Amino acid sequence: MTTQAPEEVEATDNRPACEPFELGLGNLADPRVIRAMELIWLEAQLLDDKDYEAWQTLYTDDAKYVIPVDPNVTEFESSLNMVYDDARMRHMRVTRLVQGYSMSAVAAARTSRTVSRFTVQEITEDTVTLRSAQVLVGFKRDKFQMLGADLTHRIRITGEDARIDLKVIRLVNSDSAVNASGFLL
């Protein structure tokens, strides 16, 4: 009894060829983008520190702070939002949190945010628009809560000053029941 070796078959890759990918900083190395990222990280730190009064100074007078229900919506004024704050509403929200007029201000959650995965959406003469990802962990009454979100920040840069002109928080679970978080996102 003789055993024959199996016939060799050449492997064929039928997948379409991919364009070569070159890793590089691209627009992330732009000094305006770096300034915008630093401002976003400062915002996260101020929120974790519960320094809400300093936080609201990071925004322009006409800025919007939006948490839409539909993660794909782009027209916030005519859509259903969990939050759609202008300067007046942000100020009222901060007053409630700081002065204890809000149930969420009583024994407020300790939080830790990680903001990363920055991509440049647009750079103009006076604005930088970035997308990023945020993971927020809150701890209150011996329970952890985790929220994930895709963020969009439009930063207005005037000389040495940089301020948030728009912040959109697209919660990963925005189309489900979202519990009251008791903290700003």
Per-residue pLDDT tens listing for the chain (185 residues)? 566 666 776 766 666 666 665 555 568 889 999 999 999 999 999 999 999 999 999 999 999 999 999 989 999 999 998 899 999 999 998 888 888 655 555 567 899 999 999 999 999 999 999 999 999 998 988 989 889 999 999 999 999 999 999 999 999 988 777 765 566 77
Q: How many residues does this entry show for the chain?
A: 185
Give me the residue spans of the domains in the chain: 27-171
> Hunting for tokens 């520190």 — which residue is that?
49
Handedness of CA 56, 62, 68, 74 (dihedral sign): negative
Residue 179's alpha-carbon distances to 68, 117, 124, 146, 171, in angstroms, are 15, 26, 37, 11, 12
Measured in degrees and rounded to the nearest 5, phi and psi for residue 112 equal -140, 120
Using CA atoms, how far apart are residues 99 and 56, in angstroms rounded to an integer? 15
Question: Environment class of residue 142 by beta-carbon count within 10 Å: exposed (0-12), middle (13-18) or buried (19+)?
Answer: exposed
Give me the DSSP letters along 64-89: EEEEESSTT----TTS-EEEEE-HHH
Structure-token pair, residue 68? 């839409």
DSSP state at residue 181: -
CB 109 within 8 A of CB 143: no
Using CA atoms, how far apart are residues 141 and 99, in angstroms rounded to an integer? 20
Strand order in the sheet with 143-158: 81-85, 59-68, 161-171, 143-158, 127-140, 110-123
Using CA atoms, how far apart are residues 52 and 50, in angstroms rounded to an integer? 5
pLDDT in the model for residue 64:
96
| CATH class (in words) of the domain with range 27-171 | alpha beta
